[in-house]
Structure 1
Amino acid sequence: MHLRAVVVAAVALALGTGAFNVDLHHAVVVVSPTGADDLLFGYSVALTPAQLLVGEPRGEWPSRPDILEPGALHRCRLDMLGLSQPQCSDIRLDMTGNDMTYIGGHSVHHLKNTSMFASTIVTTSAGLALVCGPGWKNQLYREKHYLMNGLCYSLDWNNLYRQPKPYVPLVERERQGAVVPDEASPGRTKNVFYYAFGEAGFSAHVSQDAGEVLLGAPGVYSWRGSVVRYRINEAGQLVEKFVTRPDSFEDYGYFGYSVTAAGFDTSRRTPVQYAAGAPRAAHSGKVLLFELPDEAVEPGSATADSTRMSVLQEMFGEQFGEYFGAAVLAEDVNGDGLADLLVGAPLHSTAQAGDQGRVYVYLNQGEGRLRLTDSPLGPWSRPSRHAPGRGSPPHGDPHASPHGARFGSALVAAGDVNKDGYNDVWIGAPYEDGGRGAVYLFLGSAIGCGPSAAQRIPARDVHADLRSFGFSMAASADVDDNGYTDLAVGAPLSGHAVVLLTRPAARLAPRITSSVTELSFSASSFVLSACLQYAGHRAHPHAVAMVTLALDGPSERAMLSMRPGRPAARLVQYSQPLQLGRLACTNVTVLIRPNNVDFTTPIDVTMRFNLTDEASRKDKPFCRSCPVLDPTAPSSAALRIPYATGCKDDSLCRPDLKVSAEWHDTALPLVVGSVREVTLRALVRNTGEPAFLARMAVTLPPPLAVARMPPTCHTPRAFLARTAAPAPTRLICDLANPLGHNKQLLLELPLDVSQLSLAAVASAAAPSVTVTLNATSAGSANTSDGVLSLRLPLAAIVDLDVVGRASPELGLLPDHDSTKAIGFTHTFEVRHVGPTWAPGAALRLHVPLKARVGGPRGRIVTLLKVRVLVDRRRVNCTTREVTGVATGRDQEDDFAKAKGTPASAGEDADDWEDLADGAAAGGLRCGVAPALCVELQCPLLLLPPATATVDLRLRLLTESLDAVLDAVGVGLSAVAVHTKAVVVLPDLPSLPAGSKFRSRPVQLSTLFMRPAESAPVQPWVVGLSVAAGLLLLALLTLALRKAGFFGRKKVPRVGDGPQPGQGIPADRPPGGADVDVDDDDDTLLAAQKSAASVLASDDDGIDGALETASDSGMSMHSSVGAPQQAEQAPST
């Protein structure tokens, strides 16, 4: 079953300010005729097809300057819109002054000063206009009592020259006050104001179909409030007055502050039900839904003031002081034929904004039962297609501020502005944007009002001088006769009224089709047909849409071409001419790149469109038939064309990729540092439908890296960026396209493990690094079989060799009285044997630095001065005194335990004991009294395969040593200083199974000896020695004489030989004398011995012996040299 081309319609994107059909560029701004901005021009507005009625509650009557600010009504003609600015004129409500007269059979004495006439204006489509002044006062008892009963004028807005007719519903003299039971004092009564300050006409509502008028009188009965109903007869007169009794209300509740009426329950005998707000009741506000009797009541009869007000439902506010009920509106917003109720609470506050305002929506469930919806309306509503989300300015307006906006101060029915069959509403926020104000349009729908505004009109976009824009509104007439109701808005604090014209709402129905329903792998192009059908109530017959076609998705495997010869692109825009009621189409060619490899992802095409809005430009006249796209209508469409993949569902293949993996030719656990590279071998098998663009995602935790990147793998660009912290390495390896059913593929990935360290091994009880493999394919519904986590278990073998030498090994101690310090050095060399590198290694030294003199509580003296050099650089070593050690063996055990080595290296502890057993007793040794041991721990920078050299430079303080030896009472001729060292890993308290740590300790010793003192020589010893020497000399001399040493023949001198010409006999020795050379040699040796004897006995003898030996030597050399001369003579 192949997926066919499907058109998906999408809703419109969020529209900006003024984007819907109320035109802001051609707003009609009306200013007070007097030019004053403090008379509240715009306090109330009413709109008729040809004129705008504007109330000015503090306005003057030009014909009666004697009346102080009675309130004025202005009429502004709108029949010449677009040709000239509207001209406003006053409407005379009354020609009389503050005079005595009769109204409705009652004698009244007018006091029209500050009556606030025209503060309330309501109209009907039949031409009735009701203009009220709730501040009108009746003067009684010779002008000593002013009773603010309120007065309303009815007039025909079709014939404003006809004299308005006054109505005073609360003027009965006998009802100005009342005697009622005193609730505070049971059994007693009290006098209260009844009609005296009723303020009838404070609010008003005219029922368009039933011909009734409902007036609010919130001051009745100590401001409990009441409502007054009038019927409208055929002559347009108000008859059958009915005033409700407020007995069941509470004081100062202001019931009647706002009023409305509609058919809430059509099954009841009375076709109309009523709703009125009491914003101060119950501390938060209250609204009553009620009905009044339908029978006729004669004026002045006993039933004219009746208690027969039947309350159908009570609704209460949710927040203290939110003024719930300040505005009410009955309107069917969900199209079910039953009136729904909207209630304004303009002082509702949030944590972010005070007096922000809110409107509650009650939907009619039938039989007059109103249900509160879960989505109240506000200036900042939750996200929708019309408006931005909560917490951001409406429609992105940076000037909008909800603080003090008082959203919900005014509610008015807008009719059906987009002709979708649902009624819409306007809501005013007169103090938004720092007091400038704004109005909001909310569209009705089957579920009620949308949670967000379809259009927001801020005052700053209409006119720069507007203030309190949205305080009053009216939308009951079509001024420009284009079939859409227009809007009038008052801005009383700046003295303005504004008329906003509405343009037709149009809908565009999209349709997008393709020349093919599915694509083959070899397809190079296909053709799209993008169509729009234009429709709209009383819209212009011709329009232009701006259309955008785009290929969705990140790939660039296809391009759009409008016509041959033009550059292709992934996005194209064009203008589409439209004709009302007809379908308009444009063909576009989709070009597919020849190197496309993605066949599982369909090609998606999106069409977005909107109407051009040239008619809204300020430099052009207002076009009342130029349409605006309805925000509830579709504004985009999409088409999806799949590839014929051979899968059951062409757009979604269902492969089943299974992954298995192993560490190839690797001994486990892996000893850190033993190898630089390991090979990961992964096997991927597909047991499902074909897998297109099958890939393997490999995630390597740090510090693993790729030794050699396979040709089918690469690192995504997002993972190439450098980060401060070590980040995992991610690889994407292409497997096959497609990987068919029951096909498999082997992937070998060489990994670099040279950066693994000892820290990774000691980080967990079962140390390992985990590589994640994830096999995926394009457009697949992958299962968990495609994900595999492969552990690489780790172990460590740390082998550190320590050797040392003492320089010097033997030294001399000075005399007892000397204070000279003796320097010597113990050098330790640490070699990394491997294979695991130990970066945090340290050398721990035990040095007998001090000694205690005078027993366990004696004083402590310093014996040694220490300086430590590591690789000829001074380092900071930690120092700790080793206490609690009584014997050498105990301290050796403590030192072994302090190594911090794992249990697997426990055999090294015995090395210390063996070393202690073989050490010579005595000397300065840790753990042997009186020496006190200090432990030094020095960090090593041990990088393989280098070594670290630690020079422990010591100075023995001989003065302190003598003090210790004297205190002990032992005189020693030799003292040995012993130091010990071992390599430890302080940062690693333990290592997991399979790991080893080897480090043998070393002890160095320097022996210091003191030279022995010689005793004085006795006189008899001297004498005996001299006599022995003389006797020895005599014996030597005698021996020489006996040997003939002194009687030998004299050897002839050089030059005493034969004369020239004399020969030497061949049988005689040279020299002319019978000399035995050998005897002479013996004689020379005997002379030398005699000289040595003389040297040993006496200096004079030494000189004589040297002279004798010299004479004998000269004679020998002379006799030897003579024959040479003799032999050379004949040749001469």
Structure 2
Amino acid sequence: MYSHINTTRLSTIVNLILLIIITLLSVIQAYNLNIDKAKIFSHPHKYSHHRGSYFGFTVALYNSPNYEDQFVLVGAPRANTTQTLVVEPGTVYKCMLNSNCNEWQLDNTFGETHDAGTIIRDHSWLGASMSVENVENPRVVICAPRWKIKWKYDWYMNGICYYAEINANQSFDHSYIERIMSFTNKREQTAIDSNNNGYYKYGMGLLGFSLSTFRNGEKWNAVLGGPGAYSSYGTTVVLSHSQLGFNHVIPDFDEVSSTYLGYSMTSGKYFNINHIQFAAGAPRNTDMTGRVRVFYYDDYKYIVEAIDTLKGTQKGEYFGAALTSCDVDNDGKDEIIVGAPMWTKNGDEGSVYIFTTKNSKKFKLLLQIKGEVKDARFGTSVACLGDIDRDGYQDIAVGAPYENNYGAVYIFNGNQTGLSSSWSQRIFGNDFSHTMRGFGLSISEPRDIDGNGYLDVAIGAYLSGHAVVIKSQPVVSVDIKIYTKQMKIRNDTVSFPIRICSSFKGVRSPRSFNTSIKLKVDALHERAYIINLKREDRFYIMPSKLSRGVNTCENITILLKERNLNMIDPVEISALLTLDPELETSSVSSDNFYFDYPVINKNISKTEDNITLEFAVDCGDDNICHSNILLNFTTDLDNENHFVIGSKNTVKLFIDIQNYGESAYQTFVHILIPESIGLANNPVNCEPTRSSGIPEIICNMGNPLVNRHNLTLELVMKQARSIDNHVDLYAFVTTQSQNLNLNPTKQNLTIYFDDNVDIAVSGNAYETSYSCFNNENKQKLEIIKFQHVYQVHKFGVTPIMQSHLAISIPTHIIDDKTKKKIEIAKIHRTDISLHEFTDGQNSYCVQEKINNTYQTLNYPKINTNPNNYTLYINCTNPLIICTTISCFLETSSNALTIGNVAITMELQLRNFTGK
């Protein structure tokens, strides 16, 4: 009953809604970081009466070559240690994945001197930054940026870093190998600027506030941030390690301002894939928009040179507070990811910027991802996760440690164009514990700690003192395809076969696993169905098992329902492949070792396929029916459609439809009929309904309508009322074919109502004359009783439901001299008799006195001339008071004589006296 265009649009909308729902469901599901099997560590020496140790402020993963030892190093920069003489120096814990956490005592010294100064380790924030090299025997750098030296009365917060090497589990039983003390030269704690003003050079340097390590060929390097140097302008320290020890390179800056250069550090292959550069964040800068400066380091000549600068966009956003480098588009060159955690729309939502050098000699902005949660500070931490889903592109994690009080981490996946702007997984701190706070402040570099070929990650929640290790699940890409040999559906088709084939690919994936295929078969029109498959809501569920390297196929028969009227809209069949959520883990098979159940990479998978089968209709080679319909809408009344109310009971309505084009399928005529008239009966192919509260009848005019079809309806006119004046009828045609609209398919028709009726009233007295004297004793009578009878007649065919007869009778006269009222006549009773049968309930009379206000006429006074016995009484005389009797007479629809009204009165002769 809708046009082809409307049903196509409706089908598109329904499919779009279903697609959006399925997409939203897939987004909120976890990707391949398996939060259900996460390992949670808490600070092993947590006391309720102590302030928080910030356990989880930094995290770093390590695994031994044979996966015998897997652990996470967790920094707790405000922790007390077993060395009780030092107050909150901070420490690092080694937490075994299959055991507990133990403190790594990197520095046990107390009261040590350096260059005639005293070392102060109280509140030094050991563990504020940390790096573990990704090799079999890694170098480890752990920093304490609040480490101090006291020279007499002067205290300087230089910062320090500790260098160690891990070559066995026993390495953690020993302290550092070497201390990195780049800012401890006594003569360089302060300096004089060009204006002869003193400032702190390295005295408040905060060495190790941030760090990054990298290799250029065989040389291992580390870059350390010192944002407090040069009176908080900041600087960087580049370390090159060789057999001779560390070589320190510190760029010399003339500027003295609080830019905090070195607040964050990162390194990567930005311009040359054979050489690594590094970058340092300066989140304050002079205009408070933040900067990131990119440096080239020549590790042979030990020269540092600034080569590019990245700029923020919003004042106060803290652009450059966090940095990481990652090759998200797999072009061999790293992008720089910049966190701006105080970027604001409504309040510290945070933002992340991605810069690239692809096809450019300078960095350019590739993408900005804006946080959506107020006060979350999205971008406080950023980390490159490597290719965590093994799709060939590296991925990143972004921390929002204050989101919803718990904290959150977002995963964004790389692709050929750079980085997806939509997250693939969002992990909340309360996914693990409702006491977790600050989740996402730190995110480790990725490591494969369980040997399944997928990188894992650790995340710190520093406010509550937690560290969470999350392992990755295998990722597969799936493909599904529907095949059919049925080109078109014929009118006599009762069923047809389809074939559904699916397969999967994956790196280090299971050999086989179970899936479910959800089939939708003509969900919008429900003309087709499947037997022998379980149905849930709008889906048929088909279990399937996929095996690596095998294209698994299933044959299915689609059945068509009988008496199908809709042959224009095609039959749509879709198949959606999902992993079986009820599958037991033990049923997943692998080649050499245990695998977690895989997840689907929806970005490179084809999880859904659909086919569309059209009906074979007689509409040319394009199979699109172009009809050309003309509607004609008339009655059996005269040319102007005038109807005399009461002239007949029904009026015939003629509907004639002609099609001058191709076949018109599902052709219906809709007639809207007012409430005041109705239908004598419903034809076989018509159904009554309502449209916007108005009665409507919908009639099938052919499926298909090839050339012409007519229809006659009878309208019941008994309820037609002259007060309505007219009624409007409206008719229109709908078809599923594409109507060319060359002829009108909508039409209005107005029926006008006319009256044919008149009313006459006749009246007579019961007697023609009355005597004023008694016939027996000739005495004057005091009263005379008499009766008047009034008859109401109707002429014409138009019925009258009720008649109103008003009779005015003089009952009093006013004496012109005395002004007294004198009663002339008294109304004794009123009787109504109806000539046609009615129940009489709506027939009645009422009385009402009226005082005349007409002009005075020259009628004789009642006592002016006693010799004149003629007295004229009329209701138009102002001295006369009349009583009006109003009678309402219920009238039968076909009555010609409506009824009689008899009024009995008493003439009051005793009130008439002569002079």
Code of the residue aligned with 2:702 in structure 1: it is: A
**Aligned positions of 1:164-175 closer than 5 A:** 164-175=177-188
C-alpha separation in 2, matches of 1:770 and 1:528: 49
Secondary structure class of the residue paired with 1:460:
helix
Alignment partner, residue 693 of structure 1: 666
Deviation at 1:94, TM superposition (A): 2.0
C-alpha separation in 2, matches of 1:583 and 1:619: 20
Indicate how the Cα distance of structure 1 residues 829 and 22 shifts in structure 2: closer, same or farther if over 3 A, else same.
farther
**Aligned positions of 1:586-985 closer than 5 A:** 586-613=554-581, 623-624=594-595, 626-632=597-603, 633-648=605-620, 652-665=624-637, 667-670=639-642, 673=645, 677-700=650-673, 705-715=678-688, 719=690, 727-740=693-706, 743-752=707-716, 769=728, 771-777=730-736, 780-785=737-742, 788-793=745-750, 795=752, 797=754, 951=846, 953-954=848-849, 975-977=879-881
Structure 1 window deviating more from structure 2 (452-461 vs 487-496): it is 452-461
Deviation at 1:206, TM superposition (A): 3.0
Secondary structure class of the residue paired with 1:15:
helix
Code of the residue aligned with 2:362 in structure 1: it is: G
C-alpha separation in 2, matches of 1:281 and 1:841: 98
Give aligned pairs, total: 810
TM-score when scaled to structure 2? 0.75
**1:55 and 2:75 correspond:** yes
For residues 1053-1098 of structure 1, give each alpha carbon's deviation from its aligned partner in whole angstroms, at most 9, with x where no partner exists. Answer: xxxxxxxxxxxxxxxxxxxxxxxxxxxxxxxxxxxxxxxxxxxxxx
TM-score when scaled to structure 1? 0.62
Alignment partner, residue 432 of structure 2: 462
For the Cα contact (< 8 Å) 1:256–1:276, is it kept in 2? yes
Secondary structure class of the residue paired with 2:430:
helix
Secondary structure class of the residue paired with 2:451:
coil
**Aligned positions of 1:327-406 closer than 5 A:** 327-348=322-343, 354-362=347-355, 366-371=360-365, 373=367, 376-378=369-371, 402=373, 404-406=375-377
C-alpha separation in 2, matches of 1:220 and 1:355: 28
**1:87 and 2:80 correspond:** no
Which of residues 158, 162, 181 in structure 2 aligns to 1:153?
162
Code of the residue aligned with 1:790 in structure 2: it is: Q
Deviation at 1:217, TM superposition (A): 2.9
Alignment partner, residue 540 of structure 1: 510
For the Cα contact (< 8 Å) 1:656–1:782, is it kept in 2? yes
Deviation at 1:536, TM superposition (A): 0.7
Indicate how the Cα distance of structure 1 residues 60 and 685 shifts in structure 2: closer, same or farther if over 3 A, else same.
same
Indicate how the Cα distance of structure 1 residues 54 and 646 shifts in structure 2: closer, same or farther if over 3 A, else same.
same
Deviation at 1:490, TM superposition (A): 1.0
Deviation at 1:700, TM superposition (A): 4.7
Deviation at 1:532, TM superposition (A): 0.8
For the Cα contact (< 8 Å) 1:30–1:86, is it kept in 2? no
Alignment partner, residue 123 of structure 2: 114
C-alpha separation in 2, matches of 1:464 and 1:286: 36
Structure 1 window deviating more from structure 2 (969-978 vs 493-502): it is 969-978
For the Cα contact (< 8 Å) 1:698–1:774, is it kept in 2? no
C-alpha separation in 2, matches of 1:845 and 1:363: 104
**Aligned positions of 1:491-502 closer than 5 A:** 491-502=461-472
In structure 1, the gaps of 5 or more residues are: 1-7, 79-84, 182-187, 380-401, 721-725, 762-766, 808-826, 847-861, 864-870, 873-942, 984-1005, 1016-1132
Secondary structure class of the residue paired with 1:954:
strand
Secondary structure class of the residue paired with 2:396:
strand
Which of residues 233, 255, 262 in structure 2 aligns to 1:256?
262
Indicate how the Cα distance of structure 1 residues 596 and 172 shifts in structure 2: closer, same or farther if over 3 A, else same.
same
C-alpha separation in 2, matches of 1:407 and 1:226: 24
C-alpha separation in 1, matches of 2:795 and 2:205: 105
Code of the residue aligned with 2:574 in structure 1: it is: T
Indicate how the Cα distance of structure 1 residues 665 and 673 shifts in structure 2: closer, same or farther if over 3 A, else same.
closer
For the Cα contact (< 8 Å) 1:426–1:441, is it kept in 2? yes
RMSD value, Cα:
5.3
Secondary structure class of the residue paired with 2:26:
coil
Deviation at 1:335, TM superposition (A): 4.0
Indicate how the Cα distance of structure 1 residues 956 and 597 shifts in structure 2: closer, same or farther if over 3 A, else same.
closer
C-alpha separation in 2, matches of 1:832 and 1:70: 116
For residues 1028-1057 of structure 1, give each alpha carbon's deviation from its aligned partner in whole angstroms, at most 9, with x where no partner exists. Answer: xxxxxxxxxxxxxxxxxxxxxxxxxxxxxx
Deviation at 1:649, TM superposition (A): 5.3
Alignment partner, residue 46 of structure 1: 60
Indicate how the Cα distance of structure 1 residues 236 and 650 shifts in structure 2: closer, same or farther if over 3 A, else same.
farther
For residues 877-901 of structure 1, give each alpha carbon's deviation from its aligned partner in whole angstroms, at most 9, with x where no partner exists. Answer: xxxxxxxxxxxxxxxxxxxxxxxxx
Secondary structure class of the residue paired with 1:470:
strand
C-alpha separation in 2, matches of 1:828 and 1:215: 121
In structure 2, the gaps of 5 or more residues are: 1-15, 64-69, 766-788, 809-820, 823-829, 832-837, 865-870, 874-878, 888-905
Indicate how the Cα distance of structure 1 residues 551 and 137 shifts in structure 2: closer, same or farther if over 3 A, else same.
same
For the Cα contact (< 8 Å) 2:849–2:884, is it kept in 1? no
Indicate how the Cα distance of structure 1 residues 108 and 796 shifts in structure 2: closer, same or farther if over 3 A, else same.
farther
Indicate how the Cα distance of structure 1 residues 647 and 372 shifts in structure 2: closer, same or farther if over 3 A, else same.
same
Indicate how the Cα distance of structure 1 residues 979 and 954 shifts in structure 2: closer, same or farther if over 3 A, else same.
closer
C-alpha separation in 2, matches of 1:971 and 1:199: 133
Indicate how the Cα distance of structure 1 residues 803 and 100 shifts in structure 2: closer, same or farther if over 3 A, else same.
farther
C-alpha separation in 2, matches of 1:256 and 1:346: 17
Deviation at 1:363, TM superposition (A): 5.6
Secondary structure class of the residue paired with 2:439:
coil
Code of the residue aligned with 2:206 in structure 1: it is: E
Indicate how the Cα distance of structure 1 residues 601 and 368 shifts in structure 2: closer, same or farther if over 3 A, else same.
same
For residues 183-233 of structure 1, give each alpha carbon's deviation from its aligned partner in whole angstroms, at most 9, with x where no partner exists. Answer: xxxxx765444433332322223346675433333334443x323041434
For the Cα contact (< 8 Å) 2:850–2:884, is it kept in 1? no
Deviation at 1:704, TM superposition (A): 6.1
For residues 399-420 of structure 1, give each alpha carbon's deviation from its aligned partner in whole angstroms, at most 9, with x where no partner exists. Answer: xxx4543333221112222222
Indicate how the Cα distance of structure 1 residues 122 and 561 shifts in structure 2: closer, same or farther if over 3 A, else same.
same
Code of the residue aligned with 1:205 in structure 2: it is: S
For the Cα contact (< 8 Å) 1:976–1:1007, is it kept in 2? no
Between structures 1 and 2, the one with greater strand share: 2
Indicate how the Cα distance of structure 1 residues 189 and 240 shifts in structure 2: closer, same or farther if over 3 A, else same.
closer
Indicate how the Cα distance of structure 1 residues 368 and 828 shifts in structure 2: closer, same or farther if over 3 A, else same.
farther
Structure 1 window deviating more from structure 2 (491-500 vs 610-619): it is 610-619
Identity over aligned pairs, percent = 24
Alignment partner, residue 898 of structure 2: none
C-alpha separation in 2, matches of 1:840 and 1:255: 100
C-alpha separation in 2, matches of 1:221 and 1:568: 69
**Aligned positions of 1:40-439 closer than 5 A:** 40-49=54-63, 50-62=70-82, 64-78=83-97, 85-101=98-114, 109-126=118-135, 127-140=138-151, 142=152, 144-158=153-167, 160=171, 161=174, 163-180=176-193, 190-207=197-214, 212-223=221-232, 225-234=233-242, 238-243=246-251, 245=253, 247=255, 251=258, 253-266=259-272, 272=277, 274-278=279-283, 282=287, 286-292=289-295, 294-295=297-298, 309-317=306-314, 321-348=316-343, 354-362=347-355, 366-371=360-365, 373=367, 376-378=369-371, 402=373, 404-433=375-404, 435-439=405-409
For the Cα contact (< 8 Å) 1:45–1:53, is it kept in 2? yes
For the Cα contact (< 8 Å) 2:850–2:882, is it kept in 1? no
Indicate how the Cα distance of structure 1 residues 596 and 322 shifts in structure 2: closer, same or farther if over 3 A, else same.
same
For the Cα contact (< 8 Å) 2:163–2:176, is it kept in 1? no
For residues 923-946 of structure 1, give each alpha carbon's deviation from its aligned partner in whole angstroms, at most 9, with x where no partner exists. Answer: xxxxxxxxxxxxxxxxxxxx9x99
For residues 259-311 of structure 1, give each alpha carbon's deviation from its aligned partner in whole angstroms, at most 9, with x where no partner exists. Answer: 334344449x98635251415864xx534243335456989xxx99xxx6455
Between structures 1 and 2, the one with greater helix share: 1
C-alpha separation in 2, matches of 1:845 and 1:196: 120
For the Cα contact (< 8 Å) 2:455–2:472, is it kept in 1? yes
Of structures 1 and 2, the larger Rg is shown by 1
For the Cα contact (< 8 Å) 1:509–1:534, is it kept in 2? yes
